[in-house]
């Protein structure tokens, strides 16, 4: 039976109190609601697969060194998790106590931050964020971190995830007098932390009390003037880990960010845990933790989101993708001359397929790594295809060959059909498509940009009908029962494949203007 988050936490959801709301100001932002519109060929995203979650990074350097450049490189390592906007906020625990300097903007990390911007960000504690909007407007106003000035001081917050009760909490806050300046659910979290701080002894207690109110997926990094706090939802949907370098502690979405800055991996933040890093050391609060049998890590971290050199809750992402390819070879073999992967996440799965089948692994696609989320997509009247601009086929690798093409997913089928067509145009005699995930049948409410069922090709088509639509010779998906093996037995969320979510899905549309 699906239990609600409140039942699993063992507490009742807090309700709004009466009286006026504590004045809160958010630095440098004003609200902007996104427009609406139907999906057309021109407005389709360049990738037809699920889109990245966001990435968070925080650091507290007790030696008082400048942390902005470290956050910059940490975000650079997490760029794959969000390419729409990014930001850094830092403060100094000495001197001008609590003074926050921040900078954020639209685009990639190396586009938003130049040397002069980083030079202005002075401090020994800070937080950074890279964003991909799973819903809501992609504007500078919604870029993170959020910097909150309130009666008790200043908070900086970065959030990876998606709340399913953000609309309810937003209305609750609005009735209390809150004025919202963004359209993201992360602001709801920040407001509740600020509100709870007024009645809490410590900021970590305020974070915990706020987390008891929110439902959904979240990995949070929060800074107060002298504390760095990390929080992970009780189901563990999104990753968050702890690192150490010299006399500095780090919180990051993925271990690859720790590797990039030369930090040592300490451990993962446990699902439901709130970790506080201060000059007194590391304090752990596990009062929100639930039995591990109820955990629900997003399986797409292993299939697609995370960088292959990361480790998520003890499981190598690269190893998981290799296993997925091996399973495909075991369960859906086919005679062919070469196995190729669609970059990037399809490559390890293709290697796994080749290792298991004995069919040679090859490189068939050259990816243009300079195409970001701000790429100007071609109009329908132009010959240029978004897919062709991002990928090109090595004709010599596939001409006259039977090709097994491994990709991580099929959502609408538009991109997959174009890639199959490109292989055929390059001279492939056969194209056999293998997908390292089961078919998408249901939307995701927890931070993966999987659309409503009417946009999912597998929701109303059989595998054979999808094969015909793609123009492939054969098509096979990863078996559903292989998912747990892929993640080495860890408890996972598979709602987008099965329709069985770890908590009751929202009754109203949460993918509108108030969501991140």
SS3 per residue for 324-386? HHHHHHHHCCCCCCEEEECCCCHHHHHHHHHHHHCCCECCCEEECCCCCCCCCCCCCCCCCCH
| Chain length of the chain | 516
474-477 and 492-493 beta bridge pairing: unpaired
Tokens of 105: 């903007």
Task: Give the angle subtended at the CA of 483 by the CAs of 488 and 132, to the nearest 5°.
Answer: 100
3-state secondary structure of 241: strand
Name the phi and psi angles at 102, rounded to 5: -145, 155
The number of C-alpha atoms within 13 Å of 203 and in the hemisphere containing its C-beta is: 26
Cα(2)–Cα(504) distance, rounded to whole angstroms?
6
Q: Where are the beta strands (DSSP E) in 28-151?
A: 55-61, 85-91, 100-106, 125-131, 146-150
Q: Let me know: does 487 contact 319? Beta carbons within 8 Å.
A: no
Report the run of H or E that residue 185 belongs to, with start and end.
helix 185-197
Burial (CB < 10 A; 0-12, 13-18, 19+), residue 272, is buried
What is the secondary structure of 284-311 as a DSSP string? EE-TT---GGG--EEHHIIIIIS-TT-E
As a 3-state breakdown, the chain gives helix, strand, coil percent values, each rounded to 5, of 30, 25, 45
Q: Tell me which residues are annotated as active site.
A: 54
Cα(305)–Cα(82) distance, rounded to whole angstroms?
10
Q: Let me know: does 126 contact 59? Beta carbons within 8 Å.
A: yes
What is the sign, positive or negative, of the torsion defined by CA atoms of 72, 219, 317, 403?
A: negative
Cα(149)–Cα(52) distance, rounded to whole angstroms?
30
């Amino acid at each position: 039976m699906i239990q609600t988050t409140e039942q699993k936490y063992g507490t009742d959801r807090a309700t709004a109190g009466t009286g006026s709301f504590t004045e809160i100001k958010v630095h440098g932002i004003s609200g902007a609601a996104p427009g609406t519109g139907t999906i057309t060929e021109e407005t389709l995203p360049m990738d037809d697969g699920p889109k990245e979650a966001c990435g968070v990074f925080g650091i507290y350097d007790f030696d008082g060194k400048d942390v902005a450049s470290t956050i910059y490189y940490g975000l650079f390592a997490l760029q794959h998790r969000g390419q729409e906007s990014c930001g850094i906020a830092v403060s100094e625990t000495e001197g001008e106590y609590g003074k926050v300097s921040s900078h954020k903007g639209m685009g990639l990390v190396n586009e938003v931050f130049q040397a002069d911007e980083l030079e202005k960000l002075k401090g020994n504690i800070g937080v950074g964020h890279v964003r991909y909007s799973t819903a809501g407007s992609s504007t500078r106003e919604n870029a993170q971190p959020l910097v909150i000035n309130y009666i008790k001081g200043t908070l900086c917050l970065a959030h990876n995830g998606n709340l399913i009760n953000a609309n309810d909490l937003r209305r609750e806050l609005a009735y209390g007098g809150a004025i919202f300046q963004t359209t993201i659910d992360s602001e709801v979290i920040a407001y509740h932390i600020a509100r709870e701080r007024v009645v809490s002894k410590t900021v970590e207690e305020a974070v915990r009390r706020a987390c008891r109110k929110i439902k959904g997926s979240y990995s949070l990094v929060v800074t107060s003037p002298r504390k760095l706090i990390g929080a992970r939802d009780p189901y563990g949907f999104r990753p968050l880990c702890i690192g150490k370098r010299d006399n500095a502690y780090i919180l990051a979405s993925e271990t690859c960010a720790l590797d990039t800055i030369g930090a040592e991996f300490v451990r993962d933040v446990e699902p439901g845990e709130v970790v506080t890093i201060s000059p007194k050391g590391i304090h752990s609060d596990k009062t929100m933790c639930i039995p591990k049998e109820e955990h629900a890590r997003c399986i797409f971290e292993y299939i697609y989101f995370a960088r292959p050199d990361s480790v998520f809750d003890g499981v190598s992402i690269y190893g998981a993708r290799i296993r997925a390819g091996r399973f495909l070879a075991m369960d859906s073999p086919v005679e062919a001359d070469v196995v190729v992967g669609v970059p990037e996440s399809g490559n390890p799965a293709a290697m796994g397929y080749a290792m298991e089948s004995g069919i040679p692994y090859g490189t068939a696609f050259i990816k243009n790594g300079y195409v970001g989320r701000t790429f100007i997509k071609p109009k329908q009247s132009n010959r240029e295809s978004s897919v062709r601009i991002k990928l090109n086929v090595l004709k010599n690798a596939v001409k006259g060959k039977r090709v097994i093409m491994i990709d991580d997913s099929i959502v609408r089928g538009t991109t997959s059909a174009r890639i199959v067509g490109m292989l055929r145009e390059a001279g492939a005699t056969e194209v056999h498509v293998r997908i390292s995930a089961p078919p998408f049948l249901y939307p995701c409410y927890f931070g993966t940009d999987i659309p409503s069922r009417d946009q999912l090709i597998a929701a109303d088509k059989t595998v054979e009908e999808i094969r015909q639509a793609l123009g492939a010779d054969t098509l096979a998906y990863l078996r559903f029962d292989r998912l747990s093996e892929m993640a080495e037995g860890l408890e996972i969320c598979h709602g987008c494949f099965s329709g069985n979510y770890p908590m009751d899905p929202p009754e109203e549309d949460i993918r509108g203007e108030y969501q991140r």
